[in-house]
Structure 1
Amino acid sequence: MLDERRIGDAQRDRRKPVRNDLELLRAVTTRRNAVGRIPESRTTQGRSRPMSGSLYCMPSEPPLSAAHLFDALGVDYERAYGHMPERDIALEWLGARLPSGAHVLDVGSGTGVPAARALADKGYRVVGIDVSPVMVDIARRQVPDATFLQTDVLDYDTEPGSLDAACVFFSLLQIPRAQIDATVHRIADWLRPGGYLVLAAVPADIDGLTIDFLGHPIRVSSYTVPAYLDLLRAAGMDILETRESTWIPEGGGDPEDILFVYCHKPAGYRSPPASDHDAMPETPAVGATTIE
């Protein structure tokens, strides 16, 4: 049962103004790291540039797990995050390509709005997974025509070739790079030949960096744009379109860089050997900004 008092207490206890999860990497990528350089991002044309923003102070509290973070945020996450035109375009793009009754997985489904609701309203069989029990409870209330499971994407499994599409909207941010790699390969395996994947991320060269997000300390990892594209290709996906844009947060703020990648699983897809993507290396990729 949704504990409204617990959500309310957590929201009242926040001492910092609400910031969306695109602002977090503006802050992250403009602070000087331990070796004194400013982390960089790259455009699809390969030009290297520092990301915009102001200096950032590291949180003094230990980082929250994804479950604890989103239990505390509840519907505030939807309010801060719910109106992103680029995501709406991605959902329309999927809807124009999927057959009637398509089976779609929404990874990190949150409150179910807007992604799961938009897909369920088109008659698709939507399964949303989220690690937060509070988010799952809200989603079940808001989108009764979809199925929502409380589980981590790292633990979830389904039959290979059983999905027509998968949405991964900013939901890999709180897992280490090695697990991002393995998760992308597993999602590719779950798609049927001819299926679609839309992945959205905040591109940055970081692994295990602790930052402030909506008033809470969390640990985040990501990749630059070229590195994300390389990862998707290594998982056997064809990249149909890459959209880089900026998004102005609800309530004001600086424009933020975001990445949407539209992928297709080719008919001749063969899963890479398990040893290629299931291993979890202990060290980050070369060039990552890592904070212990």
Structure 2
Amino acid sequence: MDIDDPKDVVRRGYDALSRHYEQSYATETKYRPWLDTLQQRIPPAATVLDLGCGCGIPVARALSAAGHRVTGVDISGEQIRRARELVPEAEFRQADATDVGFPGAYLDAVVSLYALIHLPLDEQPPLLARIATWLRPGGWFLATTGHSAWTGTDDNWLGGGATMWWSHADAATYRDWLTRAGLTVEGEEFVPEGDGGHALFWARRP
């Protein structure tokens, strides 16, 4: 992959700052209400994809501990290495989210938190359309997206000395993309962060 490829910037950034990222965000606390709600909506021993799983905490760990079958995918080799250590009961793959594939109607849920926003904009709608096909009828997609449109980098991300890259549309665009992908948007909320924030979507395959 070319070193100027934005995905390579993302991969190298998370390789460098895996532990720093985990320590900088109270993800256990922040994600818990979302994961609790998801578990109320999916069947026991559900098949779940954690797309952009990071080090496996907290999504893969919480869902695996509850008896669900979890596959995590992340572009960062260091994140995947740590995830395999931290959550040995789940399966993890190092891959670009846009390169993975699953059988149709195979998954009960797909969770993608703070991951879509690291993909080039033109790759996001096709990925959402594929995610919709992977879900069983009635399956859930839980995702954070951009709330306002922005593409750019931070050359000293989290003060850790590594560069990070993002690209996201606004919430209305994501709502449209989800609908066009064949999903029904069941819920949407604003998740504040610093001076801005993200949109959280609950969508379902009819």
**Structure-1-length-normalised TM-score:** 0.64
The aligned counterpart of 2:24 is: 80
User: Residue 126 of structure 1: CA displacement?
Assistant: 0.3
The alignment's C-alpha RMSD in Å is 1.9
CA change 1:84–1:225 in 2 (3 A) is farther
- The structure in which a higher percent of residues are strand is 2
The answer to whether the 8 Å contact 1:70/1:135 transfers is: yes
- Which 4+ runs in 1 deviate beyond 3 A? 61-64
Q: Distance in 2 between matches of 1:109 and 1:140?
A: 11
Match for 1:121: what amino acid? A
- 1:188-223 Cα shifts (integer Å, max 9, x gaps): 11101110000112322134x333333432332101
Gaps of 5+ in 1: 1-60, 248-253, 267-292
For 1:143 and 1:199, the matched residues in 2 are separated by 21
Alignment of 1:147-186 (within 5 A): 147-186=91-130
3-state DSSP class of the match of 2:72?
Answer: strand
In structure 1, C-alpha distance between the alignment counterparts of 2:83 and 2:11, rounded to whole Å: 15
Amino acid at match of 1:195: G
Amino acid at match of 2:89: D
Q: Is structure 2 residue 190 aligned with structure 1 residue 224?
A: no
What TM-score, normalized by structure 2, do the two folds share? 0.89
| Deviation per residue, 1:104-124 (Å, 9 max, x gap) | 000010010011111111100
Cα distance in 1, alignment partners of residues 176 and 90 from structure 2: 32
Alignment partner of 1:259 out of 189, 196, 199? 199
Paired AA for residue 263 in structure 1: A
* Residue correspondence of structure 1 range 49-68 to structure 2 within 5 A: 65-68=9-12
What does residue range 11-50 of structure 1 map to in structure 2 within 5 Å?
none
Query: Which consecutive residues of structure 2, in runs of 5 or more, have no partner in the other structure?
Result: none
Q: Deviations over 1:136-181 (max 9, x none)?
A: 1101111111111111111111101100000010101221111011
Counterpart-to-counterpart distance in 1, 2:198 and 2:167: 15
Q: Structure 1 residues 157 and 123, CA, compared in 2 at 3 Å: closer, same or farther?
A: same
Pick the structure with more helix per residue: 2
Larger radius of gyration between Structure 1 and Structure 2? 1
Provide the identity percentage: 32
